[in-house]
Amino acid sequence: MKAILLMRHAKSSWKDAGLVDWERPLNKRGRRDAPRMGELLLDEDLVPQIILSSSAVRARQTAEAVAEAVGYDGDINYLDELYGATVSQYVDVLSRLRDDVDVALIIGHNPELQYLVEVLTGETEHLPTAAIARIRMRVERWADVRHDSQGELVTVWRPREVP
């Protein structure tokens, strides 16, 4: 079985109206929530073996904060294709993972992350900023992840519900 951790980037700033969407950084709440969610993953013994992140600034900053808090010592893979990705693009990225990876963290954007949770599990969940959905996939190989893989939504952690 494989575990997918789908995380929406932490809260971003709209302070600088001159920035294009891709360049928006985290705001104060986002800089607080991202490491807290990483600590939660550590407490849950869910240290990812790979982290894939959208290349947008807010997603990169989220990935870096989570990686540090969870004690992740690998490289973070920043993928341009995860910025504005469709569900099919997320599934494609998952299906290309190495089979020795059992726990993968993907940091991306709504609304597609919410749609991806629904496609993979049949469950509809709201993912506010910095939320993490934990999905258990009934596959041995990542190449077997498809739109109809029927994973199990184990839990959704939302920052406001985490002590």
Listed residue (158, 161, 163) closest to 133, CA to CA: 158
Mean pLDDT of 99-105: 98
Confidence of residue 112 (pLDDT cuts 50, 70, 90): very high
The answer on pLDDT for 18 being more than 80 is no
The larger pLDDT score, comparing residue 148 to residue 134, is at 134
Query: How many helices (H) does the chain have, and how many strands (E)?
Result: 4, 6
* Reported CATH class of domain 2-161: alpha beta
**Short-list 42, 49, 77, CA closest to 63:** 77
Q: What's the pLDDT at 118?
A: 96
Amino acid 17: pLDDT: 74
User: Rounded to 5 degrees, what are φ and ψ at 137?
Assistant: -100, 135
Please give the C-alpha separations between residue 57 and each of 19, 60, 93, in angstroms, as whole numbers.
Answer: 11, 5, 20
State yes or no: cis peptide before 25, omega within 30 of 0. Answer: no
Q: Which residues contact 51 (CB under 8 A, 6 or more apart)?
A: 63, 66, 67, 72, 74, 76, 77, 104, 105, 106, 107
Tokens 């596959």 locate to 139
Range with top average pLDDT, 12-21, 36-45, 142-151: 36-45
Q: Is the pLDDT of residue 102 over 90?
A: yes
Q: Name the more confident of 18 and 80.
A: 80
Give me the residue spans of the domains in the chain. 2-161
Q: What pLDDT is attached to residue 19?
A: 72
> 108, 79 in Cβ contact below 8 A?
no
| pLDDT value, residue 147 | 85
Looking at residue 14, its pLDDT comes to 78
Mean predicted lDDT score pLDDT of the chain:
95
- The CB density around residue 160, as the number of other CB atoms within 10 Å, is 8
pLDDT confidence tier of residue 13, bands split at 50, 70 and 90: confident
